[in-house]
């Protein structure tokens, strides 16, 4: 078994070696731009860590790891258009830099390329790998649709929100772990346990993202602070605050989230003030703690020695305590 740091290094070097730029440049320049922006490479790391946990060679997991990262970046490319996000990883988003048409098309080809990488894996594993990736991408699209729908609605519940982020974010983490398990020929019980781990970890991860959107340093975070508030995204912070607030404050929060154009600085400041008044950050941190415990408990069901699970445990804790 390799150390977490060594596998992280392996993933970083794997992606540093890739170059997708070729003709037609209209298609592959935005593609390469996206892939060269970096990011956490969390999903390929999960593929690799799982493969390694079941004693597979890291080399055998490379193509599947690249596939999940391509699939993830495809969803980001298109989400950034829909969410009109100006920044990603501290740089202009593809649609901002290259225009909407190129962002659509290079996203499309990136999705196809994800399958191309899966097709480089052992033939007998291809059906399971394709099934895992396809099923998760349907769910990610559904999650994104709910996310957009929630922007228009005023009766979103916390339960609906957790379902939405499960679809939009957590299932891809679960699928990355399962992908590594398929590569390593893991047993069905372990695969299910890994999916459960990924799902709970993914929810905790996204709730942490909601907190970071309000309380973090732009230079570290790489996205615009408070953009969820500007976009009227009814995150867990908003839903929790509306639930706890007195009538007057709840009404004020809802009114802010109905605004289309407004003084964004004032809006962000006032909304965060209300979040702080009701201590919703602490509530969400408690939720994150609970989901993290559930995630770690799921690891118990995996049929390898305890010490082989240490990398996933350490990573889970790092993710929950991250600043970006």
Minimum CB distance to a second copy smaller for 113 or for 268: 113
Instruction: For residues 87 and 77, give the distance between their C-alpha atoms in angstroms, rounded to a whole number.
Output: 11
Sites for a second copy among residues 264-283 (CB under 8 A): none
CB of 205 to a second copy, least distance (A): 22
Minimum CB distance to a second copy smaller for 110 or for 295: 110
CB of 231 to a second copy, least distance (A): 13
Minimum CB distance to a second copy smaller for 172 or for 320: 172
Instruction: For residues 206 and 321, give the distance between their C-alpha atoms in angstroms, rounded to a whole number.
Output: 12
Phi, psi of 310 (to 5 degrees): -60, -40
Site string for a second copy, 46-75 (x = CB under 8 A): -----------------------------x
Per rule CB under 8 A, count of chain residues that contact a second copy: 37
Minimum CB distance to a second copy smaller for 149 or for 297: 149
Residue 237 near residue 271 (C-beta atoms within 8 A): no
Q: E-assigned strands of the chain?
A: 87-88, 91-92
Minimum CB distance to a second copy smaller for 1 or for 141: 141
CB of 115 to a second copy, least distance (A): 4
Sites for a second copy among residues 109-148 (CB under 8 A): 109, 111-113, 115-116, 118-119, 123, 126-127, 130-131, 134-135, 137-138, 141-142, 144-146, 148
Distance of alpha carbon 206 from the chain centroid: 7
Site string for a second copy, 295-314 (x = CB under 8 A): --------------------
Closest CA to 61 of 183, 187, 190, 185: 183
Minimum CB distance to a second copy smaller for 37 or for 145: 145
C-beta atoms surrounding 258 within 10 Å: 9
Phi, psi of 20 (to 5 degrees): -100, 0
**Window of 21-29, 35-43, 229-237, 247-255 that interacts with a second copy by CB under 8 A:** 21-29
User: How many helices (H) and strands (E) would you count in the chain?
Assistant: 17, 2
Q: Is 97 in the site for a second copy (CB under 8 A)?
A: no
First to last CA, the chain: 28
Pairing mode, strands 87-88 and 91-92: antiparallel
CB of 106 to a second copy, least distance (A): 8
Minimum CB distance to a second copy smaller for 11 or for 103: 103
Residue 2 near residue 50 (C-beta atoms within 8 A): no
16, burial (CB in 10 Å: exposed 0-12, middle 13-18, buried 19+):
exposed
Closest CA to 50 of 293, 311, 316, 318: 311
Instruction: For residues 171 and 147, give the distance between their C-alpha atoms in angstroms, rounded to a whole number.
Output: 15
Among 41, 43, 72, 78, binds a second copy (CB under 8 A): 78
Q: E-assigned strands of 51-151?
A: 87-88, 91-92
Positions touching a second copy (CB under 8 A) are: 24, 26-27, 75, 78, 81-82, 100-101, 104-105, 107-109, 111-113, 115-116, 118-119, 123, 126-127, 130-131, 134-135, 137-138, 141-142, 144-146, 148-149
């Amino acid at each position: 078994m390799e150390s977490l740091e060594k596998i992280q290094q392996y993933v970083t070097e794997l992606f540093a070696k890739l170059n997708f730029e070729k003709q037609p440049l209209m298609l592959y320049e935005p593609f390469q731009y996206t892939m060269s922006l970096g990011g956490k490479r969390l999903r390929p790391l999960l593929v690799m860590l799982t493969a390694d946990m079941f004693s597979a060679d890291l080399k055998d997991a490379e193509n599947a790891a690249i596939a999940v990262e391509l699939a993830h970046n495809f969803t980001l490319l298109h989400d950034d258009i829909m969410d009109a996000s100006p920044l990603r990883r501290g740089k202009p988003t593809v649609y901002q830099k290259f225009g909407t048409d190129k962002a659509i098309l290079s996203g499309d080809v990136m999705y196809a390329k994800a399958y191309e990488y899966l097709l480089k894996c052992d033939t007998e594993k291809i059906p399971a790998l394709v099934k895992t990736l396809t099923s998760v991408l349907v769910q990610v699209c559904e999650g994104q649709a709910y996310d957009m729908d929630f922007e228009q609605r005023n009766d979103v519940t916390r339960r609906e929100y957790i379902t939405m982020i499960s679809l939009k974010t957590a299932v891809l983490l679960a699928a990355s772990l399962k992908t590594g398990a398929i590569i390593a020929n893991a047993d069905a019980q372990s695969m299910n346990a890994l999916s459960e781990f990924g799902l709970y970890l993914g929810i905790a991860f996204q709730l942490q993202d909601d907190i970071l959107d309000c309380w973090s340093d732009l230079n570290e975070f790489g996205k615009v602070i408070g953009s969820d508030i500007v976009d009227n995204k009814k995150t867990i912070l908003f839903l929790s605050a509306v639930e706890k607030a007195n009538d007057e404050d709840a009404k004020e929060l809802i009114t802010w989230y109905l605004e289309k154009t407004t003084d964004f600085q004032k809006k962000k400041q006032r909304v965060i003030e209300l979040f702080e008044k009701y201590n919703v950050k602490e509530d969400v941190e408690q939720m994150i703690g609970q989901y993290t415990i559930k995630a770690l408990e799921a690891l118990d069901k995996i049929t390898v020695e305890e010490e082989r699970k240490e990398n996933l445990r350490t990573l889970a804790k790092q993710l929950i305590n991250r600043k970006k």
